[in-house]
Amino acid sequence: MDENQLSEIENSDGNRLVFNDKLGDNMQCNIGAKGKAVRLKMGIMALVFATLLAAVVLTGVLDSVLWWYAVAAIAFGGAFSVFEARAGWCVIRAMGFKTPI
């Protein structure tokens, strides 16, 4: 790694922390066109389902406030899946696991 990409800070305990300024360089494309398409479709379906679930919660059919956590989790998962498709980067593959698509 190039030295000019690293930054150092010292925390209150006197420990030196070194981090990479160019985090985006670590997100190299690790999925193909088929994987991107699957992740995009999955993400769009999750976002649509989150919207429908939010509408059901708003109408009062599901009256617990806990349903909003489900809406948020599904929407976050869907948005992250769309991000993976657009970036061509899979977090699971980046951790070293092999995925079938």
Q: What is the pLDDT of residues 56-73, one digit of tens each?
A: 999 999 999 999 999 999
Which tokens go with 97?
A: 């696991």
**Which pTM was predicted?**
0.72
Looking at the chain, how many residues does it have? 101
Q: How confident is the model at residue 20 (pLDDT cuts 50, 70, 90)?
A: low
DSSP string, 19-57: EES-GGGG----S-HHHHHHHHHHHHHHHHHHHHHHHHH
